Amino acid sequence: MQCAVLLSRNIILFISTLKVVAPRPSSSRLARRFGSGNLTFSAKMETNLEIESAFRGLIDTNKIVIFSKTTCPFCKKVKNIFNQLQENYHALELDNYPAEKTSQMQDVLKDMTGQRTVPNVFINKQHVGGCTDTEQALADGTLFDRLEGTFNTYDYDYIVIGGGSGGLASAKEASSYGRKVACCDLVLPSPQGTSWGLGGTCVNVGCIPKKLMHKAALMGEDIEDSAYFGWTTDNKRHSWEEMVTNIQDYIKSLNFKYRTDLKKKEVTYYNAYAKFVDKHTLNLYNKEGNFMKTITGQNFLLAMGCRPVYPDFPGARDLCISSDDVFSLKEPPGKTLIIGASYIALETAGFLVGLGFDVTVMVRSILLRGFDQDIANKIGETLEAHGVKFVPKHVPESVTKNGENLLVRAKSLSDGSEYIDTFKTVFLAIGREPCTTGIGLENLNVKFQESSTRIEVNEFSQTSVRNIFAVGDVVEEKLQLTPVAIQAGKLLAKRLYGKGKALFDYNHVPTTVFTPLEYGCVGYSEEDAMKKFPDQIEVYHLHFQPLEWDLNKRNKNKSYGKLICLKSEQERVVGFHYLGPNAGEITQGFALALKLGAKKDDFNNLIGIHPTCAEIFTTMTITKASGKPAEAGGC
Ligand code: FAD
Ligand code: NDP
């Protein structure tokens, strides 16, 4: 039986229904799967030209055409993709024809597309490619644009909002796969007017200046200790101004490096504040808030990071400073009150006291919420031993000018009594809030975590809007750390554009608190381990005195190590905690052991490096449960 089909190019083709090669699932599914104008090809067509005309007819009259073979597993994969997307497709099974005809048709496909193999996929009259290309288009979202007919209509493949740790890493990675990438970054000044260059929080007002100031403070200790090693160091004096100038100069060199890096990687940099118009369009504004231009993108990355929280009490915004300001203060901070008791508060207290300032920390509840509390309290004790004063269970009520100083009034949460003192500087470290409001995300239905402005993402870092992704500090309940933002940003770009499959592993992320006695940890805190694995936990621990501090008994007996082991899994180590010098360096290495599933026996069988602090983890025998004193012996 023969019938005629009128194709868009007005070519009349005679086809044999016997030769129809569209897949034949149940007839009810046929209607759903196949677009209009199927039955467009005849085995009787002799010339390549005739075949090409027929192919073009198919392509012109069907949204999706798959040139396929019934036995080809990649063709099945491709069809599965469209089935799952509930998209109708027309499949022409080339192997339903005599072998020489199949080969001729593949020659024609080669002429038309440069690709001889199947599957050979077309969407909206455009050639997509084979299975890998279709999978890639699904991964990077262009498949949806092809289906919607908006493919290749955007200025950029990938627009990153936020030139910090996560944003820069992701933009550069995406660009390395040949994608057209833009990165928008603009720093809004702090309430005190502090602003900075490209690179985000870590480089400008976070990890980098913090670690350098921490080092400056430790050097002060080293100078004191040096007398025990025979040095005479007269005139121990520290210049805040010189330290700040040198650190800021260094940061400026990094800002410059980030800009040239983007240029080298061919990422277009906009020093602009971005706001969404719709899910593919941004309006850009300069630092004065004036409109600059509109740009469009296929995919977006939200990597806007966080900024310090300012409470409502009088004087908070206009008289207090935060981590946005402290690292570039022109004048020494003098007598300082720090409000807050987590990472930022305690690290800042540590370096300020180490540099010789009078420091008080006002604590609302506990130190270092979320960390092993046994160790958090030891950190508190050493800070106190270094001269930091603590005002426990108090919250501030007001800060007012008092001549050159600031008068602070606070309330005790225990008995309601009033606390009053004067300071030169009041430093707020009560948390950080994501920069996710006022940029149009609400209108796009990007979902936020309940009762917060942190963005909800799935395991692929994808928000509730298909082409918008998020990494770093803006993301719900993930660890707010630079390497976390970088890794999440890179992996995302690899998945989108580099055929990567790996997801971020949020387990076993190591971290260090850079207080004078540094604290590194990875895995569970003792409290969390007890909760997660009731009756299954064995804790090994040891107090020790680092050799380098033994002559003068610095931080006497405060250094400490703890391994939390899971009895039900042959004492697999699920928590590592170290309080002592060089905590970051030591924890980094042991984190790998935990990631690889090391057991307590593996630690026992490891030969220590003598004389080091890290070697205590190879010789721990005392369990907490035994109640025995946990003091390290000699060599
Ligand atoms: P960010 O690095 O904050 O970058 C976001 C960028 O986006 C910023 O430049 C911002 O101005 C810009 N932006 C925001 N909105 C827009 C918009 N609409 N348009 C254009 N641009 C916009 N982590 C560690 O791992 N180790 C440490 O020792 C450490 N110490 C820290 C110390 C301090 C004091 C602080 C504050 C943080 C510290 N952190 C540390 C945390 C670390 O800095 C952050 O986790 C990391 O910088 C987050 O990177 P991000 O890419 O998410 O955002
Ligand atoms: P956190 O959210 O970790 O801690 C906030 C602190 O402020 C808590 O002690 C909290 O007390 C207290 N607080 C909150 N609200 C008030 C209030 N209204 N009045 C008084 N106290 C209050 O914030 P941070 O700013 O310390 O750090 C933010 C993030 O930055 C960290 O989570 C970390 O990931 C990252 N960071 C990492 C560092 C590193 O890797 N070394 C260093 C510094 C920061 P309470 O416990 O009672 O809630």
40-96 confidence digits (pLDDT tens)? 566 667 899 999 999 999 999 999 999 999 999 999 999 999 999 999 999 999 999
The number of beta carbons lying within 10 Å of the beta carbon of residue 353 is: 24
Q: Poorest-confidence range of 25-34, 128-137, 214-223?
A: 25-34
610 annotated active-site: yes
Percent of the chain whose predicted confidence (pLDDT) is above 90: 87
In which band, very low, low, confident or very high, does the pLDDT at 267 lie, cut at 50, 70 and 90? very high
H helical segments located in 185-322 = 200-205, 207-226, 240-264, 316-319
Cβ(468)–Cβ(302) below 8 Å: yes
H helical segments located in 268-338 = 316-319, 323-326
Q: Report the chain's mean pLDDT, rounded to a whole number.
A: 92
Hey, whose CA ends up nearest to atom 23 of ligand 1?
A: 481
Model confidence at 38: pLDDT above 60? no
In which band, very low, low, confident or very high, does the pLDDT at 190 lie, cut at 50, 70 and 90? very high
Which of 430, 452, 478, 514 has most ligand 2 atoms within 8 Å of CB, for mutation? 430
Model confidence at 376: pLDDT above 50? yes
What's the rounded Cα separation, in Å, for the pair 11 and 475?
55
The better pLDDT of the pair 498, 38 is held by 498
Containing 578, the helix (H) or strand (E) segment is strand 572-579
Model confidence at 37: pLDDT above 60? no
Bridge partners, residue 475, by sequence = 455
Do the strands 2-6 and 468-470 form a parallel or antiparallel pair, or are they unpaired? unpaired
DSSP secondary structure code for residue 148 in this structure? H
C-beta of 365 in contact with ligand 2 (< 6 A) = yes
Residues contacting residue 9 through CB under 8 Å, at least 6 positions apart? 53, 56, 57, 60
C-beta of 208 in contact with ligand 2 (< 6 A) = no
Percent of the chain whose predicted confidence (pLDDT) is above 70: 93
Nearest ligand 1 atom to the CA of 308 is: 36
CA distances from 99 to 23, 94, 96, 115 (A): 19, 9, 9, 18
In which band, very low, low, confident or very high, does the pLDDT at 2 lie, cut at 50, 70 and 90? very low
C-beta of 428 in contact with ligand 2 (< 6 A) = no
Model confidence at 26: pLDDT above 80? no
Identify the pLDDT of residue 477.
73
229 alpha carbon – ligand 2 mean position (Å):
38
337 alpha carbon – ligand 1 mean position (Å):
24
The number of beta carbons lying within 10 Å of the beta carbon of residue 107 is: 13
Identify the pLDDT of residue 33.
35
418 alpha carbon – ligand 2 mean position (Å):
24
> Span 343-350, mean pLDDT?
98
H helical segments located in 85-125 = 99-113
Q: Poorest-confidence range of 178-187, 209-218, 226-235, 349-358?
A: 226-235
What's the rounded Cα separation, in Å, for the pair 56 and 66?
12
Model confidence at 554: pLDDT above 90? no
C-beta of 204 in contact with ligand 2 (< 6 A) = no
473 alpha carbon – ligand 1 mean position (Å):
7
**Segment 396-432, tens digit of pLDDT:** 999 999 999 999 999 999 999 999 999 999 999 999 9
The number of beta carbons lying within 10 Å of the beta carbon of residue 587 is: 22
For residue 599 the two structure tokens come to 């057991």
Identify the pLDDT of residue 40.
54
Q: Poorest-confidence range of 135-139, 399-403, 409-413, 492-496?
A: 135-139
Cβ(542)–Cβ(630) below 8 Å: yes
C-beta of 513 in contact with ligand 2 (< 6 A) = yes
Identify the pLDDT of residue 555.
83
In which band, very low, low, confident or very high, does the pLDDT at 632 lie, cut at 50, 70 and 90? confident
Q: What is the pTM of this model?
A: 0.90
Which of 172, 201, 342, 444 has most ligand 1 atoms within 8 Å of CB, for mutation? 201
Phi, psi of 70 (to 5 degrees): -65, -30
Question: How many helices (H) does the chain have, and how many strands (E)?
Answer: 18, 28
For residue 440 the two structure tokens come to 């149009």
Identify the pLDDT of residue 635.
65
Model confidence at 149: pLDDT above 50? yes
